[in-house]
Amino acid sequence: MITDDLELTKIFLDNEYIIGLPTETVYGLAGNIHSEKAIKSIFELKKRPLFNPLIVHVKNKNAISTVAQNIPDIAYQLAEAFWPGPMTLILPKKSGVNELITAGKPTVAVRVPNHEKALQLLEILEYPLAAPSANPFGSISPTSAEHVHQYFGKSLPLILEGGQCTKGIESTIIGFEKDQPIVYRLGTLSLDEIESFLGVKLKQSTHSAESPEAPGMLSKHYSPRTPLMLTDSLEATIEKWPNKKIGVLTFGPQTFALHCHSHLILSENENLEEAASRLYAALHQLDGLDLDLIIAEKFPEYELGQTINDRLMRASK
Ligand code: TXA
Ligand code: MG
């Protein structure tokens, strides 16, 4: 069922069921952080390995102290600047937080989503919500209630309707080493924005895909079922596959002489925010066309272009 009834959603959550949760980035698969049953259902439904921890969604920045401790000042400053919003902070966890949520790590991931429905829900609940993105492990994240329904059907009895996600790509994840912020995952909040707030360049986490600090950094992730190639020379790549049914994904209104089955343009005016917000919906759409191959054009390597390239690269592995 897709519903916009907050009271009904609360009844499901109070009874330890999990639900589809709209946020400004992507839809989540959410459960009460204090219910082991709900947390287990999240991992089972998503087929997510237990080593991959979940993000805790709280109603405001004061609520982080219910799950985290020894919070660096810089974390509060970032929270003040960017919450509610598409930034997740990795903080030292409080001992009461369920080990399944944090995958046994000493840290917990938290964020305040910038979505009216999600905030209204968090306001009427007596607990925060643990929620990963609402997609089977490794596949494209959902940016509408319909995408979530297509993935899970009746196995997920309730999805809270929150419209199309306005941002469309997951949150940016920031951790701390000796109180210095470090980027764990590129996301909707561009590094340029965070760096101009902090006045320093951010370091990126160097953890390899084999022992990922944030499995959103696994080299293969965010993938459609159709093979995807990422290229900076569109025509030459299309030319290589004359007998294939090809879908092309471009930033702006590219023209090319060669034939392809379908062509999706992410932003007519080459606006990076708009392109990011439509990326996953476009991949879902192309994936439904029974193509042999998706060829995606590389984005400019700045601001959200960097995040979009990161996702396309992982989708192409
Ligand atoms: O925008 C988002 O972040 C969405 C919405 C629903 O909030 N959520 C999301 O969750 O993308 P998920 O589970 O798909 O990705 C969360 C990432 C994973 O890569 C996980 O490994 C990382 O956060 N993570 C969670 N807790 C962590 C921790 N304690 N240390 C390092 N990474 C952590
Ligand atoms: Mg995910």
Q: What is the pLDDT of residues 97-152, one digit of tens each?
A: 999 999 999 999 999 999 999 999 999 999 999 999 999 998 999 999 999 999 99
CATH number of residue 80's parent domain: 3.90.870.10
Protein residue whose Cα sits closest to atom 21 of ligand 1: 214
Atom of ligand 1 nearest to the CA of 214: 21
Secondary structure tally for the chain: helices H, strands E: 10, 15
Q: Are residues 113 and 243 both part of a single domain?
A: no
Residue 210 forms part of a structural domain: no
Measured in Å, residue 235 CA sits from the centre of ligand 1 at 36
The verdict on the CB of residue 114 being under 6 Å from ligand 1 is no
CA distances, 150 to each of 19, 96, 140, 235 (Å): 14, 35, 12, 33
Report the candidate in 284, 281, 274, 260 with the shortest Cα–Cα distance to residue 305: 274
Average pLDDT, the chain: 93
Residues 138 and 27 in one domain: yes
Residue 55 lies in a domain: yes
What integer is the mean pLDDT of 24-42? 98
Does 85 contact ligand 1 (Cβ within 6 A)? no
Q: What is the mean pLDDT of residues 218-230?
A: 81
Identify whether residues 54 and 114 lie together within a single domain.
yes
If asked whether residues 251 and 170 sit together in one domain, one would say: no
- Whether 78 and 150 map to the same domain: the answer is yes
Distance between CA atoms of residues 240 and 235, nearest Å: 9
Q: Which of 141, 169, 204 is the last residue of a domain?
A: 204
For residue 16, report the phi and psi dihedrals to the nearest 5 degrees: 70, 20
Looking at the fold, whether 277 and 134 belong to one and the same domain comes out as no
Name the percent of the chain lying above pLDDT 70. Answer: 95
Determine the average pLDDT of the residues in 13-20: 98
3-state helix, strand, coil in the chain (%, to 5): 35, 20, 45
287 and 159 belong to one structural domain: no
Domain annotation covers residue 49? yes
256-284 tens-digit pLDDT: 777 788 999 999 999 999 999 999 999 99
On whether residue 257 sits in a domain, the answer given is yes
Answer yes or no: is the C-beta of 307 below 6 A from any ligand 1 atom: no
Range of the domain at 156: 2-204
Please state the atom number of ligand 1 nearest to the C-alpha of residue 57: 7
Which residue is it, tokens 């399944």? Answer: 100
Same domain, 191 and 279: no
Q: Distance (Å, rounded) from C-alpha 47 to C-alpha 78? A: 32
How many structural domains are present in the chain? 2
Q: Which ligand is nearest to the CA of 137?
A: 2
Q: Do residues 172 and 309 both lie within one domain?
A: no
Ligand 1 in contact with 162 (CB < 6 A)?
no
Confidence of residue 227 (pLDDT cuts 50, 70, 90): very high
What's the pTM value of the predicted model, to 2 decimals?
Answer: 0.93
Domain assignment present for 187:
yes
Largest Cα–Cα distance in the chain?
61
User: Do 258 and 123 lie in a common domain?
Assistant: no
With residue 42 as reference, give the H or E element that holds it. helix 36-46
- What pLDDT, on a 0 to 100 scale, did the predictor assign at position 211? 44
Is residue 286 within 6 Å of ligand 1 at its C-beta? Answer: no
| Pocket lining: 102 vs ligand 1, CB cutoff 6 Å | yes
> Can you give the pLDDT at residue 114?
98
Do residue 198 and residue 232 come from a single domain?
no
Is 306 touching ligand 1 by the criterion CB < 6 Å? Answer: no
Q: How confident is the model at residue 210 (pLDDT cuts 50, 70, 90)?
A: very low
Q: Tell me, using a 6 A CB cutoff, whether residue 67 lines ligand 1.
A: no
Q: Which of 154, 172, 204 is the last residue of a domain?
A: 204
Average confidence (pLDDT) over 224-252:
93
Per the domain annotation, does 221 fall within a domain? no
> Does any ligand 1 atom lie closer than 6 A to the CB of residue 216?
yes
* Whether residues 241 and 163 fall in one domain: no
Rounded Cα distance between 109 and 118, Å, is 17
Distance 15 CA to ligand 1 centre (A): 24
Q: How confident is the model at residue 209 (pLDDT cuts 50, 70, 90)?
A: very low
Q: How far apart are CA 114 and CA 85, in angstroms?
A: 5
b/e code 270-307 from CB counts within 10 Å (16+ = b) = eebebbbbbbbbbbbebbeeebebbbbbbbeeebbbbb
CA–CA distance from 61 to each of 64, 88, 227, 307 (Å)?
6, 12, 41, 25
131 CA closest ligand 1 atom index: 6
Helices 304-315 and 272-287: crossing angle, nearest 10°? 20
CA angle 49, 191, 128 (to 5 degrees): 45
218 within some domain = no
* Residue 213 covered by a domain: no
What is the number of the ligand 1 atom nearest to the C-alpha of 88?
3
Q: What is the CATH number of the domain that holds 268?
A: 3.40.50.11030
Domain boundary among 172, 204, 236: 204
